[in-house]
Structure 1
Amino acid sequence: MNTHDAARTAHIDVASLRELMTVASPPPRLIDVRTPGEFEAVHIPGSRNVPLDLLRKHRDELRGHLGAGAMLVCRTGARARQAEQALAAAGLANLRVLDGGIVAWQAAQAPVRAGRPRWALERQVRLIAGSVVLASVLVGMAVPPVTWLAAVIGAGLTIAALTDTCLMGMLLARLPYNRGPRADLESVLAALAGDRA
């Protein structure tokens, strides 16, 4: 993310969002861009799940259903910033990102809806990356060229940090474990339209 993008992204902290949710009429539109599995595990009451991969692919169709001024939520804020950039490129303005995401929301002991516990996508990435690096180093003791696999994973994690994107995370998001009942465009649009009725 470049400096211009960082300056453009508007943020809101947990306390301000909670206050806005109680005084604004209608309340702010909360869009959670985590995977359906993460959303199913825990989310802010009243929020709608629009997974980041679906949002990127269908941002033009979603633009009219989200509206300007939507509040974007993810686990820590990184995916919500990516969603804000995608929606801004599609013409939506005045979007805000919840600082610290659902992690900050829970730390403030704000209300949540909890479902079946699941590992967050970032934790899954750490498990897979760490396991591949460990296995490649151990196997590399007997077969030295295998150690290069650890270098490839390290390079991928470095690129992920520099670009604020993660190919491994995007691939893991497509696994059935991370999919939930509302991961298709039609269901998401129906839920968003139902909010406006």
Structure 2
Amino acid sequence: MTPTSLAPDQAHARLHELTVIDVRTSGEYASGHIAGAHNIPLDHLDTALPVLKSAAGRGELLVVCASGARSAQACATLAAHGIPAATLTGGTTAWSRHGHDLHRSADARAVWPMDRQVRFVAGSLVLTGLAVGQRWATARWLSVGVAGGLVHSAVSGSCAMARVLARLPLNQPRATDLDATLAVLADSDDLTASGQ
């Protein structure tokens, strides 16, 4: 039976036998990922379900994100489709904190992690609501709305702002990147089926 989560040191010791799926945005992935991880952003997970089901049949899947929240959500989606997977406890943040390396491509563009993007946009909206609210009092409701959204996000474990920001071009994978990732995972199926 597949464990539901692996601590960074446990995952590091078993890395050679795990298929690692990184569900962060392509920009986050490019800025530093576990060597050998395949990038399938969370909002593209449904597209990859058939390939991931086959990959899970070959061996255990380890799902990774920055903190563990998105990977836990991805694992729940996979489980709902009968695909066993474990999440990396604490995500790539904990992985780095435990002294394990993250791979960065030489040509990678620097993109902030999603939680930092959310904090920047939320803070900017709150400040804008307060500043404009000095002249037009109703603009303060923007700040109230953002604060309410942040509280809801903390309580529910989901973040509508992160879902919106994930759709920005800088966070989107090129279609060819996602197709290439799925092809690599599918080719692994072909090699396994042929006994190679």
Same fold? TM cut 0.5: yes
Distance 1:143 1:158, change over 3 A: same
Report if aligned partners of 1:11, 1:96 keep a CA contact under 8 Å in 2.
yes
Report if aligned partners of 2:130, 2:143 keep a CA contact under 8 Å in 1.
yes
Does residue 76 of structure 1 match 2:70?
Answer: no
Letter in 1 for 2:78: L
* Contiguous gaps of at least 5 residues in structure 2: 192-196
Distance 1:185 1:46, change over 3 A: closer
Report if aligned partners of 1:45, 1:112 keep a CA contact under 8 Å in 2.
yes
CA distance in 1, matches of 2:171, 2:55: 23
Distance 1:66 1:161, change over 3 A: farther
Letter in 2 for 1:53: D
Report if aligned partners of 1:9, 1:81 keep a CA contact under 8 Å in 2.
no
CA distance in 2, matches of 1:32, 1:157: 25
Which residue of structure 1 aligns with residue 9 of structure 2?
A: 15
Which residue of structure 2 aligns with residue 5 of structure 1?
A: none
Structural mapping, 1:28-43, within 5 Å: 28-43=18-33
Indicate the SS of the match to 1:72.
Answer: strand
Does residue 85 of structure 1 match 2:72?
Answer: no
CA distance in 2, matches of 1:100, 1:11: 10
Does residue 66 of structure 1 match 2:55?
Answer: yes
C-alpha displacement at 1:185, in angstroms? Answer: 5.3
CA distance in 1, matches of 2:153, 2:51: 26
Between the two proteins, what is the percent identity of the paired residues? 34
Indicate the SS of the match to 2:127.
Answer: helix
Which residue of structure 2 aligns with residue 154 of structure 1?
A: 147
C-alpha displacement at 1:60, in angstroms? Answer: 3.9
C-alpha displacement at 1:50, in angstroms? Answer: 0.9
Structural mapping, 1:42-53, within 5 Å: 42-53=32-43
TM-score by length of 1: 0.85
Does residue 171 of structure 1 match 2:171?
Answer: no
C-alpha displacement at 1:11, in angstroms? Answer: 1.2
Distance 1:11 1:70, change over 3 A: same
Distance 1:102 1:170, change over 3 A: same
Which residue of structure 2 aligns with residue 143 of structure 1?
A: 136
Distance 1:174 1:65, change over 3 A: farther
Distance 1:191 1:181, change over 3 A: farther
Answer with 38-47 or 174-183: which moved more. Answer: 174-183
Which residue of structure 1 aligns with residue 91 of structure 2?
A: 101
Answer with 75-84 or 152-161: which moved more. Answer: 152-161
